[in-house]
Structure 1
Amino acid sequence: MLSFATHNDRAGRIAAGLSNGGVALSEDGGQSWEARSQGLPEAPVVAVAAAASNPETLYVSVHGDGLWKSEDAGRSWVFAMDRPWLADAERDLTALASVDLASGMGGIWLYAGTGLGLTRVPDCFCRWQDVQPGDAMDALVSGAAPAPEAPLPTGEPIHALVSAASVPMRLYAALPSGVWASADAGVVWAQRSSFRTDAVAVHPNNADQVVALTADGLIQTRDGGLSWTPLANN
């Protein structure tokens, strides 16, 4: 299993992206699993996310292919969008997060990590774009955006990405350089740890309580990343 997604409104449900292709779904917290791969290409599913506004809607990134969508908890899938074009090439999506903030296009945002950094698209899937202040219509009309004050490190791959359900503007990203946090939906980022991080999760009701996976195991913060302790000690 390469990636996981849960939703606050579906206790016990876990969607998992598989290294040998497809998606598996558990409704009992991982005790049992069911294949949910009909229509997906036979390639690794490297990222998966549940739509913040609808727990039955799932998104997955298929290696070498693009973004796929299911509106029935994975029972069927349709192609949603090509991979983003960055630095003269299509780039795989390495992380996905549905962010419950209005996009200005009648829906909410889907944020994505790549091997080169962060991008996002409204859930109407019109065009990948940089994260910036303002709404999607402003960005599409202008065609260019002012540089963010403090973006994620340029060219560093994003291993995982989450939005806090209780405070959707609060984002956390897992990078080789550590955990990074944003309080304004990804415009300004601050480094919150210096340990190489492969995964990150945030408490559904407390945006300051975060768990991260490092080479030495799980670490936890209860203050938004200002201090960390090994999870085994709590």
Structure 2
Amino acid sequence: MTRFPHMPLSAASRSAATSRHCFSDPSRRGFLTASLAAAGLLLLPTSLRAADPARSSLAALAFDGDVLLAAGQALVRSDDGGQSWSPLSGPAQILTLATHPERPGRILAGLAADGIALSEDGGRTWTSRANGLPAGPTDALAIAAGQPDMIYAAIRGDGLWKSEDAGESWSLAMDRPWLDEAERDLLTLASVDLATGMGGIWIYAGTEKGLTRLPDCFCRWQDVQPGNAMDALVSGDAPPSEAPLPAGQPIRALVSAASAPQTLYAALSSGVWTSRDAGVVWSRLAPGDAVSVAVHPTNPDYIFAAVDGGLKQSRDGGTTWSALAAI
């Protein structure tokens, strides 16, 4: 893997979808802004906010082992459960993050200005992984459960892409799902380590029209329902979930607890939601405008969520919450 020195991006390198590029270290002002914004202590100026109003300064949260990562206009890390933060160098604006418990230090970042960046050292240095991807914001990323070199990426306006070599090369895996009479962009992805009945595991996706999932044989998108993928194929039309997520709300973030794959968490405009049975029955854990959510890789009850512009944590699966910051 080629590692690039820290130097400013040129306009040409940003626009070249197939080129490798580097990402500059933040300035002192950016350093402080990133720390405060990610801690929920600073509302970024309008000129610096993401074009998508659903994306805040805490556009993405993820655990890298015990380290909590928060990203948006910049990337920061906390080694003490969100009590303090330190900035990391990295891409200027991140829409999504992905990590894997079997690869500590590996961080994938989906970028607002096209492409994907990869760090193998906890976010200190980065390389591009955009070679072979179409142009467009990378709205969602997931690393396959049990396969840390298998990456799934959703490109806005395009479909679901996959890489089997940690982003060195890409191929189109599946078109976007057809929901409510139109193709829908994938806003968030989660690899869920539960048997599909067809020899693989699930890829769950949140869209503006709700939740859908795909067996990793890439045969078809399916509604979430009791049973496995083979049951859905045999039955034809899928029965509805017993208690689905609220209709008409985009699913902005979706995570599966690696140590308890049936446990899912989702961030919606109505709050933080959870399912304990792989998405059939959902219940709301916390009200508010939720943008992102992260779950610890070995403790399915230890979660963080960006809600109403601040950061909250729960150590009991969302029964109780403590606010770490507020805007």
Range of TM-score over shorter length:
over 0.9
The correspondence for 1:207, drawn from 289, 300, 320, is: 300
Counting only pairs closer than 5 Å after superposition, residues 31-180 of structure 1 correspond to structure 2 as: 31-180=124-273
Q: Are 2:223 and 2:240, in contact at CA under 8 Å, matched by a contact in 1?
A: no
Counting only pairs closer than 5 Å after superposition, residues 5-44 of structure 1 correspond to structure 2 as: 5-44=98-137
Q: Are 2:142 and 2:191, in contact at CA under 8 Å, matched by a contact in 1?
A: yes
Q: Are 2:272 and 2:284, in contact at CA under 8 Å, matched by a contact in 1?
A: yes
The correspondence for 1:4, drawn from 86, 89, 97, is: 97
Structure 2 distance, partners of 1:216, 1:88, is 33
Cα offset for 1:155?
1.6
Q: Are 2:113 and 2:136, in contact at CA under 8 Å, matched by a contact in 1?
A: yes
Mind listing any 5+ residue stretches in structure 1 that lack a counterpart?
Answer: none
DSSP-derived class of the 1:191 partner:
strand
- Larger Rg: 1 or 2? 2
Taking structure 1 as the reference length, what is the TM-score of the superposition? 0.97
Aligned residue identity for 2:306: L
Q: Provide Cα deviations, 1:158-197, integer angstroms capped at 9, x if missing partner.
A: 0000000010000000001110000000000000000211
Structure 2 distance, partners of 1:231, 1:93, is 30
Structure 2 distance, partners of 1:228, 1:175, is 17
- Spell out structure 1 runs of 4+ moving beyond 2 A: none
Which residue number in structure 1 is paired with residue 89 of structure 2? none
Taking structure 2 as the reference length, what is the TM-score of the superposition? 0.70
Mind listing any 5+ residue stretches in structure 2 that lack a counterpart?
Answer: 1-93
- 1:182 maps onto 2:275 in alignment: yes
Q: CA RMSD in A?
A: 1.1
Q: Provide Cα deviations, 1:16-58, integer angstroms capped at 9, x if missing partner.
A: 1111111000111111111011100011100000001200000
Cα offset for 1:232?
5.4
Structure with more contact order per residue of length (Cα contacts < 8 Å, sep ≥ 6): 2
The aligned length equals 233
Structure 1 distance, partners of 2:160, 2:149, is 17
Q: Provide Cα deviations, 1:106-150, integer angstroms capped at 9, x if missing partner.
A: 100000000010000000110000000111011011112222221
DSSP-derived class of the 1:138 partner:
helix
Aligned residue identity for 1:176: S
Q: Higher strand share goes to which structure?
A: 1
Structure 2 distance, partners of 1:46, 1:155, is 19
